[in-house]
Amino acid sequence: MEFITKVSIEGKTPLVYGAFNENIDIHPNLNDYLNDLKNDGLLDLSLGAVNKIYPFDKLENKALFIIGLGDKNNYDYEKLEKAGSKITKKLNKELIVVLDSFCHNLNKEEVLKKLILTTLSYNYHYDETKSKKTQDDFSLGFYFTENLHHVIEEYVNLGMAINNTRDLINKPYNYLNTNDLVNYAQELVNTLKNDSVEIEVLNKEKIEKLGMNAFLGVNKGSSIDARLIHLKYYGDKENAEKISIVGKGLMFDTGGYSLKQKMNTMKSDMGGAATALGIFEACVNNNVKVNLEVIICATDNRISQDALLPDDVVTAMNKKTIEIVSTDAEGRLTLADAITYAQRKGSKKIIDIATLTGAVIVALGEYTTGIFGNDQEMIDKICNIGSKENEHLWQLPITDYIREKVRSSKVADLTNSTGRSMGASGAAAFLEEFVEEGTKWVHLDIAGTCFRSQPAYNEAYGASGVMVKTLYEYLKSM
């Protein structure tokens, strides 16, 4: 998909206009013609309806696509995105969107941003594992009179980072294992070509020396050694403060000896890691003024003669011991050591992202992300940004009762599973045990929102790329 930043509406290329149910006023050569069609019942201007019109002698463009915006009084950014989702290659291989017609009472820069991200999202496809590839010959231009080219550059970069995140999550395990993820991260750093970016990859021997035995316990059943990926971007060198994003990197999760009954879509269990990499890519490409580190403990959870067993006890990097009640509660073991590692590296502000629990899906469904943490200001800000970005979050509790359940093991300091009830909160309470005093921490459980197995809004099947744009905007606002 190609975006054209300098376009004219004069020529043969089909134009895309938005129009409300009320009197149409989009172009002096077209208004009477289109209003006559509307009055004759030949135009459907309900929200998201697409009308193909031939302008004949009124314009030289081959065709017009009029997208319904519904009623003016009810128009908002969410309705804009629904209308924008109809701007796809299915209309024509080359289109020019007339920006003003989609604005009405909305901010023009924000409208352009949302149209870019929406069109990139709805024109996304994953065909790496198909023999017949999709033709990427869609060209999209925007017509506007102001200087908004910087908006196109920034949000094309963000949209591409989101789609790269989706590609990673959609890859099956035999296309993306731990070593492949390491290679991707190293290639990403090379592609970014930024002197403020560094990467460090720790092998199993170095991880052992750090005492990350919770992480290594999960890796015991794998035929591929554990790796820790540490990316660094110093975009605000005048400021010593930094923030770490910890992404869960379970390349595939069988459940281990606590075997899952159904494993389809478990390739997406590294969704947190992919999200973190997408955020990193967007921040670096757009030169966001932030000091950002990404930490990923990458492995898979498999069964072998050496694999972790229920009743085993492992010692985490911070020396707390953990009773393994369920080997399927493995992601939190890797995150626990990753959170400790981030703090040892000097981070006092941490966001972890993980496809952590099925319980959060039961609680919130597939379109709301669960959020937990110890800093209400951070939580509120992320939730507010998420609402504006149509990536909704809901805060769930960590109560003293749940904390005591996590500490209820009779043989160790902590138990790695509190059972089916309050499962999302139990996992968050477990992670909280590894957050040191003075560290601001937020946990995002994207188990429900990361992967669309039954898309409700005509999105592509598979990875959603959720939370990349919300956390990008959060980091940008710091």
Which H, E and C letters describe 231-294, residue by residue?
Answer: EEEECCCCCCCCEEEEEEEEEEECCCCCCCCCCCCHHHHHHHHHHHHHHHHHHHHCCCCCEEEE
Answer yes or no: 260 catalytic. Answer: yes
For residue 205, the SS3 value is helix
Tell how strand 440-445 and strand 369-373 pair up. Answer: antiparallel
Q: Which of 260, 345, 348, 381 is catalytic?
A: 260
Specify the residue for token string 């316990």.
Answer: 217
Beta carbons of 53 and 86 less than 8 angstroms apart: no
Distances (CA, A) of 207 to 102, 230, 246, 347: 53, 12, 16, 19
Which residue type occupies 424? A
Q: Which amino acid is at 222?
A: S
134-138 contacts at long range (C-beta below 8 A, 24 or more positions apart): 136/1, 137/89, 137/93, 138/1, 138/2, 138/88, 138/89, 138/93, 138/94
Place of tokens 């923030």: 243
Strand-pair category, 369-373 with 393-395: parallel
Contacts of residue 431, Cβ cutoff 8 Å, sequence gap at least 6 = 332, 335, 336, 339, 352, 441, 443
CB 329 within 8 A of CB 250: no
Catalytic member of 332, 405, 452, 469 = 332
Catalytic residues: 260, 332
